[in-house]
Amino acid sequence: MSPAEAPDTSLLRARRDRASRSWDVRAGTVLIPSGAPLPIDGTDQVHDYHAHPEHAYLSGSREPSSVLAFDPVEGWVLFAPASTLEERVWTNAAPSRERLQVETGVEDIRTIEALVPWLELRRGNAVAVLGNADFIDHPERYRLPDLRALELSVDEGETERLRQLVSEQRRAKDPPELARMRAAASASVAGHLSGIGLARAGMSERQYQIEIESEFFRNGGSRTAYGSIVGGGPNGAVLHFSPTSRQFRDGDIVLVDAAAEVGGYASDVTRTFPIGPRFEGLQADLYDLVLATQQRAIEAAGPGVEYKDLHMAAAEQIAGGLADLGILRGTPSDLVDADAHALFFPHGLGHMIGLSTHDAGGCLAGRQPSDRFGLKYLRADLPLAPGYVVTIEPGIYFIDALLTDSERRDRYRDMVDWDRVDKLRGFGGIRIEDDILITETGTENLSGDLPSERSAIESLRAQALANG
């Protein structure tokens, strides 16, 4: 365990106290299952497992098949599996009760089997189920028998109310969380720096993935935060492109959205770079536009600022820049009112980040998500506050699926220079993304050690190519 991952049990207790006080549950039971690894058929192994963030945040444990439970009389109990002999032979042993106590600060730790009699004693109580709801339909994943005999009545309204309160609590990161996020961002920066130096024409997206991920791990990453996205040339236009055997070619730009996780906490970093020593022609113009948009959004971010306002300003900046380049036609505000910018910038400005890549975001209580073309992937609609960490990741892409869609071509007939755009299919995409901590007075860029200025990226590429 790295120093960034050391548990702070007094803080974990304070998190639980704060949650239970805010819930104000007078009667009833709260269950927060961790989730469980899914078996891979035909092997005796399991898919990569990630503990549910609500469970990890409140318990401090990321062990699978566990349930953190709360009731207003008994307080907190952690039900966790003890390992079987077979597991001790074939895989890892589950932590002992003593180790879990040290790591979580929960006094009352019981084996998972004890959850059934615990629930039996509360028969008839309304139950809120946060965490991973797989527990209700798949108790076998928790080594529990069919729970139907307990007649659990899950109160969906209460579940939603408590979940909203936990999300609000989880948004501002505390110092141990920030230590992990800084460590994750720093491993990600090391990986991207190494990757930008290693990329060559003839290298495949898959090879690049292997190089950058190995550098994450060499620099303390415990996991990748999400499936690495590596798109060379036209593949950069697919927002979440999984690396293939396609080899980088001279003239390509490469979009790499990949990052490390440390102690359960994600970072999320994207850079776009040329395979040659510099961005050429429109590549450079669009890179500068995306970078200027990102920089302005980071400068404008801070406590009290509405994230949606940052998104709308970025959309206007991109629309205006595309109009200046003759790709869109109209004023920035008319283009954004019509969502025309979303043909080229079809995602939100970013999202909150923490125990998941898309963490505890959503809408401030009382607000509703929008299904507008230009807004439906905005993953946070709330005012920023100190301790929040958000990504700021504008992008411009030439996406076949959108640009060949007849309904959109018709709708934006007069707002797009379609002849020009049709010639640009295959261009790929440009995204630049950093992890921004909101402070009392402004922001801190957690991934800011990774250059993003065009001249800096070009000089890294020129140096790399000069080294052979």
The beta-strand segments (E) located in 61-141 are: 67-71, 75-80, 109-111, 126-129
Nearer to ligand GLY, 77 or 310 (CB): 310
3 state SS of 13: helix
Neighbour-count burial of 227, counting CB atoms closer than 10 A to its CB (0-12 exposed, 13-18 middle, 19+ buried): middle
Count of residues that interact with ligand GLY, criterion CB under 6 A: 4
Q: List the x/- string, 203-242, binding to ligand GLY by CB under 6 A.
A: -----------------------x----------------
Residue 44, token pair as written in the block: 């005796």
Contact flag: residue 434 with ligand GLY (CB under 6 A) = no
Nearer to ligand GLY, 252 or 268 (CB): 268
Supply the minimum distance, in Å, between the C-beta of residue 257 and ligand GLY. 5
Nearer to ligand GLY, 61 or 267 (CB): 267
Nearer to ligand GLY, 141 or 347 (CB): 347
Nearer to ligand GLY, 20 or 188 (CB): 188
Contact flag: residue 357 with ligand GLY (CB under 6 A) = yes
DSSP3 helix / strand / coil % (the chain, rounded to 5): 40, 15, 40
**Scanning the structure block, which residue is given the tokens 């700021």?**
392
Neighbour-count burial of 22, counting CB atoms closer than 10 A to its CB (0-12 exposed, 13-18 middle, 19+ buried): middle
Supply the minimum distance, in Å, between the C-beta of residue 226 and ligand GLY. 5
Nearer to ligand GLY, 22 or 242 (CB): 242
Torsion angle of C-alpha atoms 147, 153, 154, 156, degrees rounded to 10: 160
Supply the minimum distance, in Å, between the C-beta of residue 428 and ligand GLY. 17
Supply the minimum distance, in Å, between the C-beta of residue 351 and ligand GLY. 6
Supply the minimum distance, in Å, between the C-beta of residue 270 and ligand GLY. 7
> Please, are residues 290 and 315 in contact by the beta-carbon 8 Å criterion?
no
Supply the minimum distance, in Å, between the C-beta of residue 267 and ligand GLY. 10
Residue 367, token pair as written in the block: 């607000």
Supply the minimum distance, in Å, between the C-beta of residue 360 and ligand GLY. 14
Interface positions, 265-324, toward ligand GLY (CB under 6 A): 268
Nearer to ligand GLY, 272 or 357 (CB): 357
> Please, are residues 384 and 302 in contact by the beta-carbon 8 Å criterion?
yes
From its phi and psi, is residue 350 left (phi > 0), alpha (psi between -120 and 50) or beta? Answer: left
Nearer to ligand GLY, 58 or 310 (CB): 310
Supply the minimum distance, in Å, between the C-beta of residue 183 and ligand GLY. 18
Nearer to ligand GLY, 317 or 357 (CB): 357
Own/partner contacts of 143-152, CB < 8 Å, gap of 24 or more, are: 143/65, 143/81, 143/112, 143/113, 144/112, 144/113, 144/115, 144/116, 145/116, 147/116, 147/119, 150/116, 150/119, 150/120, 150/123, 151/123, 151/124, 152/119, 152/127
Q: Among 71, 257, 339, 435, which residue interacts with ligand GLY (rule: CB under 6 A)?
A: 257
Query: How far apart are alpha carbons 276 and 271 in whole angstroms?
Result: 15
3 state SS of 54: helix
3 state SS of 383: strand
Contact flag: residue 435 with ligand GLY (CB under 6 A) = no
Q: List the x/- string, 443-462, binding to ligand GLY by CB under 6 A.
A: --------------------
- What does the binding site for ligand GLY look like in residue numbers (CB under 6 A)? 226, 257, 268, 357
